[in-house]
Structure formats: C-alpha cells, structure tokens
A and B are shown apart, each in its own frame.
Chain A
C-alpha cells in the first residue's frame, strides 16, 4: 500500500513542468511592464485592474467554490477603505485618529473581515436569488448609512487625502511603486485562492457547493464552512478596498455605491467565475472599456458619457455566447481545436 502511494507521489510533476509556458511569459511580461509602459497605463489601467480583480476574486471564491453569489464584496472593501481613513490620516483631521500604518492596516482588514463574516452569517441561511437580495440590501443600507452619518463616515463628502504611508522613502502613489504594490497584492491573493482551493477547507467548500446534504452526512458543518468562506473572501476584498482608496486618494459613499457593487458582479461574470484568473480578465476588460469607451463613442459622434452602454452591451454579448465568461469562450475554442486535431477523441489521456 505504502509503495503504491510513493509511486504516485514521485510521479508529481515539478513546478516548472506544471505551469504552462504561456503563464511564465505572462508573469515575466507583468514584471517588466514598467520598462516600457506609460505611467497612465501602469497606474490607471493595470493598478485599477489588479484592484478590481482582487475584489472580483473575492466574489469568485464565494461563487465559484462555494456556490454563493454575494453582492457585499465591494461594500467590505469600501468599509476597509473607510477604516483606513478613520483610523489613519486623511484630510479630515477632526475624525481621523492618526494611528501608525502597522496598526491601522491590520485593524481595518480585521473590522472588514468581521463585517463580512456577520453578513455571511445572515446570508448563508438563504439560497440563490435570496443570497443576492440580502447582500444587495445590506450593501444599499451601508451606502445610505455612510451618506447620512457625519460623526464617523463624514457623510456625503467622505474623506480626501487618504494616501499610503511613506514606507522606505517611496511615494507609493507614484505609477511604478503603485503598480508593483497592486501587482504583489493581486498575485498574493490569486495564489492564496489557488492554494486554498485544494486545502481541506477549499475542498470542503466545493463539496458544500455540489452537495450540502451529503457534506452534512460526511461530518461537515455546512453552515460553518459557508460563513468562514465569507471571512476568507472578506480579507481579500478588504485589501482590494484599501488599495482602491489609496489609488483615488479618497473614500466616499460612492466608493461602494450600488453601481460599484454591481460592477464587481459584472467583472467576475464577464471574466469567468469558475477559475481564479477569471475576475482579473473581467477587470481588465471593464477598465479598458471604462477608460477608452468615451474616446470610441466620441469618434462615432456620440456622447462620451454613454460609456456604460458599451459596458452593458459587452456584458450581454459575452454572457449570451458563454455563460462561463471569457474563460468559457477560451475553453470552448481549445476544445474545438483538440477535436479537430484528433477526430476519434479516444487516444487522449
């Protein structure tokens, strides 16, 4: 028996063999990007893509592995951003406490994670459309609360001049440092999700998605797993939210308004909700449309403000052709090529 296990383990491919060459090329390209890309592309296009991708990734973890479509992710990120402004420094010194960065960042993430967990504890008692409804309701409540609360959230104006701390003598809002900061956070979250998906917790979560009743009959507490999935995804969303606030140098109710909350769902679905890379692809498409569609529209003699029309149409087209998003399209294309290469389809391992 032990012998059989050994043989299977030695057959495990090394990291170099397991990761396809395309992924290595992409990683290298992302690392050397600042050598040739403009500051605008680094800060506005890629910085924003990585941030929205992380918040989308937190939704992908819940929806793809846990089968729970949550609209609270942007709100969790927004709350973390607010906490950074309130606990750290901002342009509103009457409210901001001015804590040091090593204290306010972990506390902000912790508060956001506790909030996400509480929302999860409510939401996991519902299924499907009702999960969407309850999380959307809480997200709307948060939006209106922050807009009307002046004591803590500074109401309609929110907080300006919320910037990253000057670590290592660098201004982290400069294009290149900010690019590497967001790239690092995005890569860490991505690999954390990939890793956890194969851990007992991640496997159990996928079991809960496929068959909650059977998971109970295997000794798992289905409710506890679902709630902890919210906790895990909230941490990722919180980091994304803090980076978003640093990028804009401000946080206000609109940071986690209803359109922003729904955009996260669009990003995750357009990219593909089954695989962790999906939300990043979705985020890149979203950001490119957001940034360049006014120019495209103006070129056609239309009003530049109608960029949402293009995003909506893009969303419709992708979902119409592939419910699994862009990744689904890619997989369909790959499957067709394999089919053409091997008409019998029998010899493949």
Chain B
C-alpha cells in the first residue's frame, strides 16, 4: 500500500489541471475549509481517494470527521476549496445531485423515515437514484426496484422486520437499515459515519463481514472509533486533528506511529 499524496501544491498549468480531471480519482478534496463563524471545523483539507480504495478517517471528537463528510455529500457547502467526485467538480452541487452520481453515505445518528416500514425505506432509497421519482403510479408487483429492495433487506439481515415501522426497530436494526439505504442503486463510493457505534460484538462482526464483502469497485471512507473495525476494513488511514490532516498511511504505519499513539491510541482507545 503506497501512501497517497498528502499536499499537492496548487494546480499550476493546464496540463496539470487536465491530468487532475482525468486522473480518475473517486474523490478529490483540495484545500477544503469549513468555517462555523470563527471556528474552523475543518481547514485546508486535501485528500485523494482512488476508486475502490477503502479509507479510514480517524481523529478524536471534534477533529472534523463528520464535517468532512457533510461537505463531501453536500449537506453543507464548504467555505472554500474544491471537491471532485469521479473527476467532476461537484463543489456547488446540492446533495441529491451528488448522490445520483454514485455517492452514498450513512449517518452517525440514524436518519431514517420512522413513519414508514423497512421495505418502504429501502424502496425509497432505490427509487431516489433511478427514474420515476415523481411517479404517481404504484410500483407493480414485479417491479425491479421492489425486488432489489427485498435483496438489500436480506443482505443486511432485516427480512423478518420487512413490514415493521422503522420507529419500532431496535437500535442495532436501525444501524443495519442505514447500511441498506447506502447500498441502494449503484453506489460507487460510500461514506460510513461510525457504522459500528452502539453495536454488540456479534453485530460488529456482522458489520465487518458486510463491509469486507462489498464489491471491489466500491470504495469507501469509514469514520470509526473502534480500531478493530476500522483497521480491519481499511487499506489506508487518514488521521484528522483539529480540523487538519495530521497523518496519512497504511493501518500498520498509523498503528505504530509514535505521534498517533500519543494523540489517539494512548488515551485508552484500541
């Protein structure tokens, strides 16, 4: 595993600009800064992820991990910097336009549709990235998306709860449903925000198997405090500290880095 470039300088000439467009990176952040008033939640973050790469983002609370995700999905617009998704500049795109280009995310605190059933939630996720979002006609019984939703529900082991209202699901089941929603359609790149938080050891093992079992072309970034999960599913690691990229490297390099251990692993984690 090679280290990815941490800080490429500003793009200087046309040739370099063209190469950055055609580089085929899944995700490319250049100098992304997000200010909340005077507070820089993330400042000058530059990050490149190749298609199919699995990256873990570590950092203590308040390091800016979730803000980074919110900027990438378009929940917030960054104060400055550019975000490229599969070579396309999506910095000013609304969230739904980015999602339609193959980006997906899960939320740290489950954001689900409590008044709808599990099947409806997953069906909506499938419909959101395909045509017919405004259709007034009910899906037919042999609708492809209904079948796809059934498959996804099975993939995250929620088949028995198919017709349960999501508000009545257990916490662990809601986390599983979060993942099903992120896998809907044809995801090319997924952002997982602490998917293991609050899960039991068995559920964690299940999560690891779901994550490692993803098709090779789907890359992802995972924010995870549980180092067992994070370092087992990721092939590269970015450490954030106070809103800046602090270190990048392979899981082994990060695990054995003295500064990282002092900063992060030293405080009883891992």
Q: Which residues of A contact B (CB under 8 A)?
A: 1-2, 4-5, 8-9, 12, 195-196, 198-204, 206-207, 209-211, 213-222, 224-225, 228, 232
Residue of A nearest to B120 (CB): A203
The answer to whether residues A9 and B113 also contact, given A203-B120, A219-B99, A221-B94 and a CB cut-off of 8 A, is: no
Residue of A nearest to B114 (CB): A210
Check B150 against A210 for contact (C-beta < 8 Å).
no
Q: Which of B130-171 contact A (CB under 8 A)?
A: 132-139, 141-142, 146-147, 150-151, 154
CB-CB < 8 A to A213: which residues of B? 75, 95, 111
Residue pairs across A and B with Cβ atoms less than 8 A apart, 24 shown, are A5-B146, A199-B139, A200-B135, A201-B135, A201-B136, A203-B120, A206-B113, A206-B116, A206-B120, A207-B121, A210-B112, A210-B115, A213-B95, A215-B128, A216-B75, A216-B95, A217-B75, A217-B111, A218-B96, A218-B124, A219-B96, A219-B99, A220-B124, A221-B133
Name which of A199, A220, A228, A232 has the most chain B CB atoms within 10 A of its CB: A220
CB-CB < 8 A to B147: which residues of A? 1-2, 5
Residue of A nearest to B126 (CB): A218
CB-CB < 8 A to A202: which residues of B? 136
Check A203 against B111 for contact (C-beta < 8 Å).
no
Is B7 part of the contact surface with A, judged by Cβ < 8 Å? no
Bound: A69/B123 CA distance, A: 27
Is B199 part of the contact surface with A, judged by Cβ < 8 Å? no
Bound: A119/B122 CA distance, A: 32
Interface residues on B, range: 35 or more
Bound: A4/B146 CA distance, A: 12
Q: Which residues of B contact A (CB under 8 A)?
A: 73-75, 94-96, 99-100, 104-105, 107, 111-116, 120-121, 123-125, 127-129, 132-139, 141-142, 146-147, 150-151, 154, 181, 184-185
Residue of B nearest to A218 (CB): B128
CB-CB < 8 A to B134: which residues of A? 200-201, 204, 224-225, 228
Check A204 against B133 for contact (C-beta < 8 Å).
yes
Bound: A202/B127 CA distance, A: 12
CB-CB < 8 A to B116: which residues of A? 203, 206-207, 210
CB-CB < 8 A to B132: which residues of A? 200
Q: Contact partner of A219 among B100, B107, B112, B123, CB < 8 A? A: B100
Check A195 against B138 for contact (C-beta < 8 Å).
yes
Q: Contact partner of A217 among B105, B146, B154, CB < 8 A? A: B105
Q: Contact partner of B141 among A9, A198, A222, A228, CB < 8 A? A: A9
Residue of A nearest to B166 (CB): A210
Bound: A207/B138 CA distance, A: 16
Q: Contact partner of A196 among B100, B114, B136, CB < 8 A? A: B136
CB-CB < 8 A to A215: which residues of B? 96, 124, 128
Check A219 against B138 for contact (C-beta < 8 Å).
no
Question: Which 9 pairs show the lowest CB-CB distances between chains A and B?
Answer: A219-B128, A218-B128, A216-B95, A219-B99, A210-B113, A214-B111, A219-B129, A200-B135, A9-B141
Check A220 against B115 for contact (C-beta < 8 Å).
no
CB-CB < 8 A to B74: which residues of A? 216
Check B112 against A214 for contact (C-beta < 8 Å).
yes
B157 nearest CB across to chain A (Å): 14
The answer to whether residues A203 and B124 also contact, given A196-B136, A218-B184 and a CB cut-off of 8 A, is: yes
B182 nearest CB across to chain A (Å): 9
CB-CB < 8 A to B181: which residues of A? 214, 218
CB-CB < 8 A to B112: which residues of A? 210-211, 214
Check B124 against A217 for contact (C-beta < 8 Å).
no
Residue of A nearest to B105 (CB): A217
The answer to whether residues A199 and B136 also contact, given A1-B147, A5-B147, A207-B124 and a CB cut-off of 8 A, is: yes
